[in-house]
Chain A
């Protein structure tokens, strides 16, 4: 059995550790800097400001429709780095493995990370593995830290939204949230929705290259969803945001699942979408650029930045009324009736 499962001794730093690293990780991670097998990566960086982000991935289940923890750990961190207008450059990968994890599972995840990193244009330059006793973690956790280079003259931040700017979303919202909910114990139901987990670095690169300083804010609406991200921008920039319900793209299957479960798409997590706040004269061009990307086909302009109600997000409903959009509060729970 010791041949096909992770043992505590695989994390002890000795021969077994080397075996694990060689038989799985080095099979898929083959950046020359990583292959030096030092405790650190030494990199020559292009000149400029650096964007850096770290995130830890504990998603359950490990494999879900449209992705897995490995691809998500690359996409999530690459996207966070890129939201500063940066070109992601390299990431690290730290693994915490539960004793008894099948090698086959770990191998599939490592392979998936490698593929995701190539697509996102980042190198996996340093890594670490720990093994903890059964029960101390749930199967497998991954931490990734990424760095990227911000091109000269680019300044993208949550506090830079200005009155009159347009708000864009790069595609349908809520796909990831529903894909995960549908595969979790307790609220299992059948759906065709797949996670949107995807690297957005390419799209951001195109936006920044073409429009530069006219892109004021970029954010990825992950946990907390579109609503929470817009509330954060409104608060950071001390502006009001008005969005149109009818302009926000939501798949029918996501709408249907939300109707069943009592969720609001605005609060569902996304892993392959970005919100852009762009100068009004650049908005149409930004939309075209997004639509040209494989991950931005359903992009839309969904609203604008206003001078009214600073710090607040107001939704104009399909009925013609309006209401406040608040941040997500607590965990999303299925309701009684």
Chain B
């Protein structure tokens, strides 16, 4: 298939794998331990497993998954509040609009899927504009869109809010649980227990952020950052560039996804995002509170904020599940199989932690694909 097969060509893959092996053997000469490369993004994790790339890498190149799956990093308190919105015993009927991956994520007591079965009006949207349409079609009911995602997704929600304002819609709301990537990377590298040697940076988020946004991280922490796309050859090229840098003791930002990512990113989308929202401290599952890593509505858009409109601050926040090691997994400290719950108490059918729920979650990917 055009534009797909070109990026899955086995011959080119073989050449890139050989290049990775050559760099890895040079790395061995100046380091005893293996190198740990973090693929930040959940889509990379899944693509790596699906294409079987792990089995092709040298022993001293270890891939760990990062905090780049938006469902996985959504804090329990946000989950509980979003689920509370769908509670059918509320005084008014609320239409909860959400991306599909969210509906099975367990809160402290229940999930959107269970509430839906109990009569809640929970609808799966493939774009936030669908929520806008539902708000237009149901003018007597509030429609709340669950705002989960990184810079890839959040600008589309900002654009939807701007459109709703233009249309004078008063029954569309957003629960803003968005996350920003750069503050999370900084928090990760500041943590004393995360020993990461280089990053495979996400393609989609970088389309928005631009390659320049990684330069401070690469310079300050001395880590190679290579932006890669999601096709198997994109990933192999990205990994080969990280390994080349490690072999040469470099720590630069490289863009291996030039067909989509520019240095400056999508300024228009980002300015739209910042027109509607402002950075705010945010809780991350497993990583705790990270300064200026989330988004809150700016005052002039506060009428769209579901948190104020539905008294969600009053919902009691539940604790993280006992013994769940999502935090260590998201920081790349352990592999999912090292969690005591993995595959026993926590499976895709009965997930305990959010990393097992999302199709992009690293635990779900390990469970589903690891031989």
Q: Write the residues of chain A forming the contact surface with B, with a CB cutoff of 8 angstroms.
A: 186-187, 252, 255-256, 259, 261-262, 264, 309, 312, 314-324, 326, 329-330, 333-337
Extra pairs beyond A256-B4, A324-B370 (17, CB < 8 Å): A255-B4, A317-B50, A317-B52, A317-B232, A318-B8, A320-B10, A320-B17, A321-B51, A321-B52, A321-B53, A323-B370, A335-B99, A336-B99, A336-B102, A336-B148, A336-B360, A337-B153
Q: Indicate if the CB atoms of B368 and A324 lie closer than 8 Å.
A: yes
| Nearest opposing residue in chain A for B52, CB measure | A321
Among A262, A312, A329, contact of B348 (Cβ-Cβ < 8 Å): A329
Q: Indicate if the CB atoms of A319 and B52 lie closer than 8 Å.
A: yes
Report B107 CB to chain A, min CB distance, Å. Answer: 17
| Nearest opposing residue in chain B for A261, CB measure | B126
Q: Indicate if the CB atoms of A322 and B126 lie closer than 8 Å.
A: no
Q: Indicate if the CB atoms of A319 and B10 lie closer than 8 Å.
A: yes
Asked whether any CB of chain A lies closer than 8 Å to the CB of B32, the reply is no
Q: Indicate if the CB atoms of B52 and A334 lie closer than 8 Å.
A: no
Residues 344-371 of chain B, each 1 if its beta carbon lies under 8 Å from chain A, else 0: 0001110000000011100000011111
Asked whether any CB of chain A lies closer than 8 Å to the CB of B124, the reply is yes
Among B4, B17, B50, B153, contact of A336 (Cβ-Cβ < 8 Å): B153
Among B13, B51, B124, contact of A333 (Cβ-Cβ < 8 Å): B124
22 contacts between A and B (CB under 8 A): A186-B123, A256-B1, A256-B4, A317-B51, A318-B232, A319-B8, A319-B53, A320-B14, A320-B52, A321-B56, A322-B52, A322-B371, A324-B368, A326-B367, A329-B347, A330-B348, A334-B99, A334-B124, A335-B100, A336-B71, A336-B99, A336-B102
Asked whether any CB of chain A lies closer than 8 Å to the CB of B43, the reply is yes
Q: Indicate if the CB atoms of B52 and A323 lie closer than 8 Å.
A: yes
Q: Indicate if the CB atoms of A319 and B51 lie closer than 8 Å.
A: yes
Q: Which residues of B contact A326 (CB under 8 A)?
A: 367-369
A319 to B367, CA, bound (A): 21
Q: Indicate if the CB atoms of A336 and B10 lie closer than 8 Å.
A: no
A148 to B151, CA, bound (A): 57
Report B69 CB to chain A, min CB distance, Å. Answer: 9
| Nearest opposing residue in chain B for A309, CB measure | B371
Asked whether any CB of chain A lies closer than 8 Å to the CB of B342, the reply is no
Give 8 closest A-B pairs by Cβ, nearest first: A321-B52, A333-B100, A317-B52, A329-B348, A321-B55, A336-B99, A252-B1, A323-B369
Asked whether any CB of chain A lies closer than 8 Å to the CB of B130, the reply is yes
Asked whether any CB of chain A lies closer than 8 Å to the CB of B278, the reply is no
| Nearest opposing residue in chain A for B130, CB measure | A186
